Amino acid sequence: MIIDCHFHFDPRMLSIEQLIQKMDQSQIDKIALIPPLTDPIPDLPKILLELLQWLLKRKTFRPLGRLLCSNFTKQGDIQILLKSYPIYKEPDNATLFDTIDRFPDRFLGWILIHPKSQQDSIAEVHRWIDHPNCVGIKAHPFWHQYAPAELIPVAEIASAKGKPMLIHLGFDDHGDYQRLVQTVPELKLILAHAAFPEYKDQWKSIRSLPNVFVDISQTAYVNIQTIAEVINYLGPEKCLYGSDGPYGSEGQDGLFDFDVILKQIKQTFPDLSVQEAIMGKNFQRLIGMA
């Protein structure tokens, strides 16, 4: 079974019919969906993405990489190529789970929360956490601009329910997940995009923490070299396949293409048992499907 553990459902970019068709074409069995975080955003030119990854992976040059990907307005919106895109402060989990209820055999769902918004995160988690297709909680300390320790109350709920949390780290305090895992040590924590934005500087601590994992999603943050490095360093049992679709990984039709990252995994790790672990079995184990 192949499961994409990290995908933002946004019909403005990819309709449900198009998504299911592409899943079938790439033999994706299930996807764990996340509500959209922002209006549709453009892909950066490939040369800029390569530069961004090169800068972020080197501590000396990381401040320059930060300038490229951490440009927020006073209102908290993200600026990309001099244009602002609103970041949603109150995620729409209801629409997501309504979609999942229509296709329960194909879709799982993450509860997206923002602990610094006016939305009651604890109430939102209690509302959806026992949904039969809910896999856990998703949070974005980077774009929503808060320290992961702010997630402790909802992390305690996830831990008690035996469900993982998927978070996208940011810079400085917004990337410090240590207090979170120290306070909730049984929490199964997935760090998105190979532990962006510090990558290798986080991997040593991740390897020593039995309940912390990474996904290898999003071609803007993770290239084939990063996939090889992180899986070899952490071991395949600590790494999960995700795409971060419908962003990045554009196919010839101009729409999202699952095969971009899948082919990188298969090319780098021809061992079928390694592929099966990364592309499905590890996530199945984390969410209790194994």
Which sequence spans correspond to the domains of the chain? 3-286
Least confident of 86-95, 177-186, 252-261: 252-261
Instruction: Look at residue 99 and tell me whether its pLDDT is greater than 80.
Output: yes
Query: Which parts of 24-124 are beta strand (E)?
Result: 30-34, 78-80, 83-85, 107-113
Say whether pLDDT at 289 is over 90.
no
**Tens of pLDDT, residues 138-186:** 999 999 999 999 999 999 999 999 999 999 999 999 999 999 999 999 9
pLDDT of residue 157: 98
Specify the pLDDT at position 261.
94
Per-residue pLDDT, 43: 82
Residue 234 has pLDDT above 70, yes or no: yes
- pLDDT-based confidence at 249, cuts 50/70/90? confident
The residues, ordered by sequence, that sit 6+ positions from 95 with a Cβ below 8 Å of its Cβ are 35
Segment 208-222 mean pLDDT: 94
Please state, in angstroms and rounded to a whole number, the distance separating the CA atoms of residues 114 and 88. Answer: 9
* Alpha carbons 131 and 125: distance in angstroms, whole number: 10
> What percent of the chain stands above pLDDT 90?
89
Does position 203 have pLDDT exceeding 90, yes or no? yes
pLDDT at position 254, please? 85
**In this model, does residue 277 exceed pLDDT 80?**
yes
Residue 82: what pLDDT? 83
Distance of alpha carbon 273 from alpha carbon 290, whole angstroms = 15
Q: What is the pLDDT of residue 250?
A: 83
Q: How much is the pTM?
A: 0.97
For 20-58, the pLDDT digits (tens) are 999 999 999 999 999 999 999 888 888 999 999 999 999
**pLDDT at residue 290, as a whole number:** 66
d(C-alpha 191, C-alpha 231), whole Å: 14
Q: How many CB atoms lie within 10 A of CB 229?
A: 18
Cis peptide before 197 (omega within 30 of 0): yes
Query: CA-to-CA distance for 132 and 129, rounded, in angstroms?
Result: 8
- Strand ranges, E, within 198-238: 212-215
CATH superfamily of 3-286: Metal-dependent hydrolases (3.20.20.140)
